[in-house]
Protein backbone atom coordinates (compact mmCIF):
# COMPACT_ATOMS: atom_id res chain seq x y z
CA UNK A 1 0.00 0.00 0.00
CA UNK A 2 1.27 3.41 -0.90
CA UNK A 3 2.10 5.70 2.07
CA UNK A 4 0.35 8.47 0.09
CA UNK A 5 -3.02 7.09 1.28
CA UNK A 6 -2.35 7.20 5.01
CA UNK A 7 -0.79 10.68 4.92
CA UNK A 8 -3.76 12.22 3.12
CA UNK A 9 -6.52 10.64 5.19
CA UNK A 10 -8.83 13.21 6.72
CA UNK A 11 -10.62 12.85 10.01
CA UNK A 12 -14.20 13.82 10.89
CA UNK A 13 -14.33 17.28 12.38
CA UNK A 14 -11.48 18.62 10.25
CA UNK A 15 -11.72 22.05 8.63
CA UNK A 16 -14.30 22.26 5.86
CA UNK A 17 -12.90 21.84 2.35
CA UNK A 18 -14.60 22.96 -0.87
CA UNK A 19 -15.87 20.38 -3.36
CA UNK A 20 -13.46 19.80 -6.24
CA UNK A 21 -15.87 17.66 -8.25
CA UNK A 22 -16.47 16.11 -10.45
CA UNK A 23 -13.01 16.10 -12.02
CA UNK A 24 -10.77 17.74 -9.42
CA UNK A 25 -9.43 20.37 -11.81
CA UNK A 26 -10.09 23.96 -10.69
CA UNK A 27 -9.51 25.18 -14.25
CA UNK A 28 -12.35 23.04 -15.69
CA UNK A 29 -14.86 25.82 -14.97
CA UNK A 30 -17.10 23.58 -12.87
CA UNK A 31 -17.04 25.43 -9.57
CA UNK A 32 -19.14 23.85 -6.83
CA UNK A 33 -20.02 25.94 -3.80
CA UNK A 34 -20.76 22.90 -1.60
CA UNK A 35 -18.54 21.52 1.13
CA UNK A 36 -16.71 18.28 0.40
CA UNK A 37 -18.04 15.29 2.35
CA UNK A 38 -16.13 12.46 0.67
CA UNK A 39 -12.54 11.71 -0.22
CA UNK A 40 -11.96 9.58 -3.34
CA UNK A 41 -8.54 7.91 -3.38
CA UNK A 42 -6.71 8.09 -6.72
CA UNK A 43 -3.59 6.41 -8.10
CA UNK A 44 -0.49 8.64 -7.82
CA UNK A 45 -2.59 11.78 -7.37
CA UNK A 46 -3.94 13.57 -4.32
CA UNK A 47 -7.34 12.42 -3.08
CA UNK A 48 -10.32 14.09 -4.71
CA UNK A 49 -12.60 15.87 -2.24
CA UNK A 50 -16.22 15.94 -3.40
CA UNK A 51 -19.74 16.74 -2.21
CA UNK A 52 -22.54 14.12 -2.35
CA UNK A 53 -23.79 15.50 -5.70
CA UNK A 54 -20.39 15.03 -7.37
CA UNK A 55 -19.48 11.69 -5.78
CA UNK A 56 -21.01 9.57 -8.57
CA UNK A 57 -19.71 11.68 -11.46
CA UNK A 58 -16.23 11.79 -9.94
CA UNK A 59 -16.12 7.98 -9.70
CA UNK A 60 -17.03 7.74 -13.38
CA UNK A 61 -15.07 10.63 -14.90
CA UNK A 62 -12.16 11.73 -12.67
CA UNK A 63 -8.65 10.73 -13.63
CA UNK A 64 -6.90 7.80 -11.90
CA UNK A 65 -9.77 6.75 -9.60
CA UNK A 66 -9.09 3.29 -8.21
CA UNK A 67 -11.46 0.46 -9.05
CA UNK A 68 -13.12 -0.75 -6.97
CA UNK A 69 -13.29 2.76 -5.55
CA UNK A 70 -11.77 3.63 -2.19
CA UNK A 71 -13.84 6.28 -0.44
CA UNK A 72 -13.91 7.79 3.00
CA UNK A 73 -16.32 10.12 4.69
CA UNK A 74 -14.54 13.30 5.76
CA UNK A 75 -17.35 15.09 7.53
Quickly list DSSP for 3-67. Answer: HHHHHH---TTPPP-B--TTTS-GGGS----SBP-EEEEETTEEEEEE-HHHHHHHHHHSTTB-S
**Is pTM beyond 0.85 here?**
no
Q: Which residues contact 67 (CB under 8 A, 6 or more apart)?
A: none
pLDDT in tens, 10-45: 444 456 889 988 887 766 667 788 999 999 999 999
pLDDT, residue 58, reads: 92
Phi and psi angles of residue 68, each rounded to the nearest 5 degrees, phi first: -65, 150
Amino acid sequence: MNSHFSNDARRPGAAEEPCLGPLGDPSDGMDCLSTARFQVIRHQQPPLLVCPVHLGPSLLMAESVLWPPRLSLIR
